[in-house]
Structure 1
Amino acid sequence: MNAVQEFKLSGTAIPKDAVHMLGEICEHFVEHAEVQRTQDAALLKSKIGTASIRVQDRRLLIELACLSEEALQMSRTSIAEHLFYFAGDDPLELSWSETAALAVLPNIHEATVVSAEDVTPHMRRVKFASADVTPFIGGDMHVRLLIPPKGRAPVWPGLREDGRIAWPEGEDELVVRVYTIRAVDIESRELWIDFLQHPAPGVETPGADFARDAQPGERVALLGPGGGNLPSARSILLAGDESALPAIARIAAEVPPGTRMQAIIEVEDAAEEQPLASAGSLDIRWLHRRSYPSGAKGVLAEETKKAIAAIDDETFVWFACEKEDVRAIRALLKSRRHDRKNMYVAWYWERDPA
Structure 2
Amino acid sequence: MEVPVYGVVREKEWLTPSIVRLRLSGDGLEGFTMVAATDAYVNVAIPPDGAPYAAPFDVQEVREAHPKPLWPARRRYTVRRWDDETRELLIDVVVHGDEGVAGPWAAGAAPGDVLVFEGPGGGYRPDRAADWHLLVGDESALPAIAASLEAVPEGAHTVARLVCDGPEHEIALDCPGDLDLEWLHRSGRAADATLLLDAVRRLDWPQGSVLAFVHGEATEIREIRRHLLADRGLDRSSMSCSPYWRREMTDEQWRAVKAAFVAEMESDVSSPDG
One-letter identity of the residue aligned with 2:34: P
Aligned-partner SS, 1:298: helix
Pick closer, same or farther for the CA change 1:323–1:156 going to 2, 3 Å: same
Q: Distance in 2 between matches of 1:284 and 1:179?
A: 24
Question: Do the aligned partners of 1:182 and 1:194 also contact (CA within 8 Å) in 2?
Answer: yes
Residue of structure 2 in register with 1:178 after alignment: 76
Counterpart of 1:99? none
Corresponding residue of 1:131: 30
Deviation at 1:141, TM superposition (A): 1.0
Q: Residue 17 of structure 2: which of 121, 139, 158 is its match?
A: 121
| 1:348 paired to 2:244 | yes
Distance, in Å, in 2 between the alignment partners of 1:319 and 1:223 is: 24
| Contact residue 41 and residue 77 of structure 2 kept, 8 A | yes
Rounded to whole Å, the distance in 1 between the matches of 2:82 and 2:89 is 5
The answer for the alignment partner of 2:267 in structure 1 is none
Q: Does 1:338 align with 2:211?
A: no
Alpha-carbon distance change, 187 to 234 in structure 1, aligned in 2, over 3 angstroms: farther
On the 8 A contact 1:235/1:261 being kept in 2, the answer is yes
Q: Which has the bigger relative contact order, CA under 8 A and spacing at least 6? A: 2
Unaligned runs of at least 5 residues, structure 1: 1-102, 160-164
Identity of aligned residues (%): 31
Shift of 1:231: 2.7
Q: Which runs of 5+ in 2 are unaligned?
A: 251-274
Q: Which protein is richer in strand relative to its size? A: 1
Q: Following the alignment from structure 1 to structure 2, what is the Cα–Cα distance between the partners of residues 208 and 223?
A: 18
Q: What's the TM-score once normalised by structure 1's chain length?
A: 0.61
Provide the C-alpha distance between the structure 2 equivalents of 1:113 and 1:210, rounded to a whole number of angstroms: 12
Going from structure 1 to structure 2, the CA distance change for 1:172 and 1:111 (only over 3 Å counts) comes to farther
TM-score (norm 2): 0.77
Q: How does 1:1-354 map to 2 (within 5 A)?
A: 104=2, 109-129=5-25, 130-138=29-37, 140-149=39-48, 152-154=53-55, 155-158=57-60, 169-170=66-67, 173-199=71-97, 204-232=99-127, 233-290=130-187, 294-296=189-191, 297-307=193-203, 310-312=205-207, 314-335=209-230, 336-352=232-248
SS, match of residue 217 in structure 1: coil
The alignment yields a C-alpha RMSD, in angstroms, of: 2.7
The AA in structure 2 aligned to 1:240 is: G
Name the CA distance, whole Å, in 1 between partners of 2:107 and 2:59: 25
| Number of positions where the alignment pairs a residue of Structure 1 with one of Structure 2 | 239
For residues 262-313 of structure 1, the C-alpha deviation after alignment (integer angstroms, 9 at most, x for no partner) is 11110100001111112222221011113x6x33231112212322x61345
Q: Tell me the SS of whatever aligns to 1:194.
A: strand
